[in-house]
Structure 1
């Protein structure tokens, strides 16, 4: 059994990030007799300057990328179908908003110390894409974190402690300097970069190849 470190740079308002993770999860299940993965999540803010309260998602995509309403509808249908294929339910709706995620990333970085990062990450994806939650709202974030098994008072401290916000910003800057400008970005064994939501089949190939190369080195 080989142990592999897998780092995932992502944002919790990125639909391709959860699709990419679910495909990775399926790939790891297929190679579970030979590979054991240790997953670490890292922050990336798609909208670092987004004000509190967010912006209508469709308006945001039109302003940022020039996306038409027709293209937006088509993209949502595609994502919903791809989500269903990997067991994740997207619940897109007309008034859906996109939010700044700095505070969510502060909690995620802290949750790693309590071995609750993966649970919190997945709960945040669910909260945003499935349950229509305002994930820049402190009360919403604290409730999600508490449900994931974290301490309420400590969550509040982390959200109000500027050093955690700076830690997130510094980490994001390091990934940008390393050439990560889009997410999801999956780094296997700290040296193999997988960009975008690759297919489960492709991920199985990569995992097996990297594992066998590690075996030959050792």
Structure 2
């Protein structure tokens, strides 16, 4: 059995990040016990200047990428199908908002110390893209934390302070200093980079090749 270290540079606000992860997950399941992956999530902010109140998601996409409402709707259809193919359900509700995700990254850094980072990352993706839960509301974050078996009171203390802020910023700088300016980015064994929401077949081929060379 080969062990692979996989760092995933991601933002909870990025739909292609969960599509890409699902491709990786399926590839690992297909490969079976021959390859074991040690997965860590690293922070990336798609919109670090986003104000606390956030912005309507469709409005944000249209402004940021200079596309029409019709093109935005078409993009959501493509994403929904890619998600379905990968085993993830997108429900793009009319009230979805793009938010500043820095506090989410701080909580993910805290959850890593509790051995629950991956579970929290998956819960955030589910709540944001499938349940349309506003992740800029602390009460919602505490409910999510509690649901995966973490201490909500401890999470509230993190949110009420600047704990894990420096760690999140340091990890963000690591990605940028290594030329990563888009997500998702999958860093394997600290030297191989796979970018984007790739299919399970692409991941399977790459992982088997990397494991063979390791």
How large is the Cα RMSD of the aligned pairs?
1.0
- Runs of 4+, deviation exceeding 4 Å: none
Once residues 53 and 134 of structure 2 are traced to their aligned partners in structure 1, the CA distance between those partners, rounded to angstroms, is 8
Does structure 1 conserve the Cα–Cα contact (< 8 Å) formed by 2:41 and 2:118?
yes
CA contact (8 A) 2:106 2:163 kept: no
Partner of 1:178: 178
Where does the alignment leave 5 or more consecutive residues of structure 2 unmatched? none
Structure 1: 5+ residue runs without aligned partners? none
Equivalences for 1:57-72 in 2 at 5 Å? 57-72=57-72
- Paired with 2:166 and 2:211, the residues of 1 have a C-alpha distance of 35
Q: How many residues align?
A: 214
Alignment of 1:1-218 (within 5 A): 1-214=1-214
- Take 2:158 and 2:24, find their aligned partners in 1: how far apart are those partners? 30
Alpha-carbon displacement from aligned partner over 1:100-121 (angstroms, at most 9, x marks no partner)? 1111111101111111111100
* Per-residue Cα deviation, 1:99-156 (whole angstroms, up to 9, x for no partner): 1111111110111111111110000000100111111211111111111111111101
TM-score (norm 1): 0.95
Partners of 2:72 and 2:205 lie apart in 1 by: 33
Cα distance in 2 for residues equivalent to 1:176 and 1:212: 29
Q: Report the CA distance between 1:53 and its aligned residue.
A: 2.2
What is the TM-score normalised by the length of structure 2? 0.97
- Where 2:164 maps in the other structure, the secondary structure is helix
Question: 1:12 and 1:71 mapped to 2: Cα distance?
Answer: 23
SS at match of 2:8: strand
